[in-house]
Structure 1
C-alpha cells in the first residue's frame, strides 16, 4: 500500500513543476462555523487544479520505452490539462481523448499545454474506451486519473504542505471523486500525525465511495448527476479504496445547492473562483455535514478553479436563489394604463431591484381584461423575500414564485 516515503519521493520528482499553494485563514468562514478555518487554495496551482502533481510524478517514473512511445489518457478537464503539461515538460508525446461535448475552453487549454486532443464519444466512458484502444494500437502508456499509486503519491504532496504550513491542524477535508487525491493526502497526513482527522466529501449525486464504505466493497453507480464534474465518478479505484478505508476517518456527502452556495461564498467573500469539486470540501464545513468542535482548526481543500463559464452562470444563480438574493415571480395585473407602473412602485418602495420584466396580455390562463407579468428581482435575503411577497399579496397581487 502507498506509504509516506512514496509521497516524499514524489515531492522530490515533482520539483518546481507544481507550486506550493497557499493556506490562508478565513475570518468569514470561521465566523460562519465557529471553527478556525484555513482553506488550502490549490486552484492557484498550475493548470488551475491539483492534477499536475500526480501527472508529473507518474510520467517521471515511466520506463524509457514508455517515454519514447508516449502516453495516452482520457479526461473531460483537469486531468487532461495536467497530463498535457507534465508530458510536455518531460518531452513526452501525449494524446488526450476527451468527450465530444467537452467544454471548448478545456479543449483549448489542453491543446495549449501541448497535448494532442482527440474528441470521441458522448461521455467519459466512451472517451476512456477509445483511449484504451489507442493504448493498444500505438503501444502507449495509459495514465490513469486516480487509480495509480504514482498518481496518488503525487497528489499526496498537498498533505505534506498542509502539515508544514498549518501544523496545528485538527481536521483536513478533501473532495473525493475516484479517490486518488484523498488517498495520497491521507497517506501523507496520517504518516506525519495520526491524530489529524481526514474527512472526505462527495457530491450526493456521485457518492460511489460513500456507498462502497457502507457495503464494504467497491460498488459502481449506474449514473452520476452533479454540478461538480471534477468528482462526478461512478466507481472508486481498486487501489484507492483500500487506502480510503484504512486512512480516511469519515466520508460525507453534500448537495448541489450546498456546493453552489460554497462557490458563491468563495467568490463574494474570498474573491476566489472555485469549480464544483473545488468547493465541495468547504460546503461540508459550512453546512456542518460532519461534527466538529468550536475552535477546531480545519483545512478544507479548494482543489481546483477550472469552472466552465456557462456552468458558473448557472451555479451563481442557484447560489443567489438559495440565499434569497434572487427571486423570479409571476403575478396578474388589470390590463389598464398605469398598472405596471403601480406594481413597479410597490417593488421599489420595498427596496427590491428589477432585473427583467415580461408583460403578456395574451396569456391563456388569465382573463381578457388582465395581463400576466413575470419579474426577475434582486432581493436582500429570505426575510426580505417573504416580506415582499406579503406586501404584494396584501395589495391584491396574486404571487406565484417561479425561482
Structure 2
C-alpha cells in the first residue's frame, strides 16, 4: 500500500457503501473541556455503534469489496476482530481470529458472540499475528492485516471526510496510532484535499515502534510492549503502513499510561463516555501538549470503549 492508493474518490465511495450504523458519528465541542485545555477540541465519538469502535468502517468496506472470498483469517487485540466478525457475519463468510492469550476478556467474548472462531496464542498481538499468517497460508485462506489493506484505511478515511465538514477548518488532528489504518485513511483525505491541517499520530510510550520507525524512516521493531493501551500495542510495524505515513503524517508524539488514565477519567466526568486506553491517547496528548495547541481547533476521535468490568472498576 502507498499513500496514493488511498484516494479521495474511494473514500467517498466507501462512505456510500459502509453500513450507516458506523457513519456520521457525533462531533462536537465542549466548553468545559476547551476551558481546561485553553484550546478548542472537537470530540468525534466513534463508540456509539454495535462494536464500540471505529473499526467497523474499514472492516465493513473491506469485506464488501472481497465478498467472493471463501474464508478470512486475521489477528486482533479485539476491536479489529469485532469489526471483521460483524462484517463477515452479514456476508456469511467464515472468520478465524488469532488473539494473544492476554486478550481483553470482553473483546474475546464479543468476537465470539459475533460469530468468529477465536484462537488464543502467543504472549502478545504480534505473536498471534505470525501464527495467524501461517494458519491462513497452510489452508489457502485470505489473511487480512490491519494497516496493510487499502480498503481498511479507505473505510477509516470516512472519519476524515466527516470531520472536514465541520463548520470551521481544523488546525490539527490528533489520531491514535496502532497499525496505521486510521491515521493513513484520515491523513489521505486531508492531504489529498490540500487542507493545511496537521496530522499527528499518538502512540503509547510503552509501545513506541511506530514512532521510532516513522522518525527514522525504516522499520524499528521492539522486543516487547508495556502499556495498558492494548489496542495500539504494536511492536513490529506494518511496512506498507509506514510507507503511507511518510506522506500522510506530520508528526508523532508519545503519551504515558498515567496521562492516558487521566484522559479516560476526564472524558468520563465531562462527557459521560467510557473509553478504553487506546481510545483515549489522543485526548491525553492534547492534555500533555496543551501549550503546543493553544488557541487551535483540534479534532480528536474517541475511537474505542471496550473495557472489561474489572478494568472499569480499576481505572474509572
* TM-score in terms of structure 1 length: 0.74
Asked if 2 retains the 8 angstrom alpha-carbon contact of 1:203 and 1:254, the reply is yes
In 2 relative to 1, CA 28–247 (structure 1 residues): closer, same or farther, beyond 3 Å?
same
Give 1:40's match in structure 2, choosing from 44, 49, 52. Answer: 44
Aligned with 2:292: secondary structure? coil
CA distance in structure 1 between the partners assigned to 2:98 and 2:211 by the alignment = 28
Partner of 1:140: 141
The runs of 5 or more residues in structure 2 that have no matched partner are none
SS at the partner of 2:206? helix
Contact 1:252/1:290 (8 A) holds in 2? no
| Counterparts of 1:10 and 1:240, CA distance in 2 | 19
1:192 has 2:196 as partner: no
What are the Cα deviations for residues 36-61 of structure 1, in whole angstroms up to 9, with x where unaligned? 11111112233001111111121122
Which of 16, 19, 26 is 1:22 aligned to? Answer: 26
Alpha-carbon distance between aligned partners in 1 of 2:82 and 2:172, rounded to the nearest angstrom: 30
Residues 289 and 235 of structure 1: CA distance in aligned 2, closer, same or farther (over 3 Å):
farther
Q: How does 1:1-400 map to 2 (within 5 A)?
A: 1=4, 2-16=6-20, 18-62=22-66, 64=68, 66=69, 69-288=70-289, 291-294=292-295, 296-316=296-316
Per the alignment, residue 339 of structure 1 pairs with: none
Larger radius of gyration: 1
Deviation per CA, 1:77-109, whole angstroms, max 9, x where unpaired?
Answer: 101101000111122111112223323322221
Distance across 2 between alignment mates of 1:218 and 1:129 = 17
Give unpaired runs (5+ residues) of structure 1: 317-403
Q: Which deviates more, 13-22 or 34-43?
A: 13-22
**Structure 1 consecutive aligned stretches of length 4 or more whose deviation exceeds 4 Å:** none
The higher-RCO structure (CA 8 Å, 6+ apart) is: 2
1:193 shift after superposition? 4.1
CA contact (8 A) 1:171 1:198 kept: yes
Whole-Å separation in 2 of the counterparts to 1:120 and 1:17 = 32
1:251 is paired with a residue whose SS is strand
Determine the C-alpha separation between the residues in 1 that align with 2:178 and 2:94. 27
Deviation at 1:63, TM superposition (A): 6.2
- CA drift of 1:120 comes to 2.7
Moved more, 128-137 or 302-311: 128-137
* Paired residues, number: 312
Alignment check: 8 A CA contact 1:50 1:155 kept: yes
SS of residue paired to 1:198: strand
Secondary structure of 1:131's match? helix
Equivalence for 1:350: none
RMSD: 1.8
Contact 1:186/1:247 (8 A) holds in 2: yes
* Residues 100 and 203 (structure 1), Cα distance of their counterparts in 2 relative to 1, 3 Å cut: closer
Partner SS, residue 44 of structure 1: coil
- Asked if the contact 1:202–1:210 (Cα under 8 Å) also holds between the matched residues in 2, the reply is yes
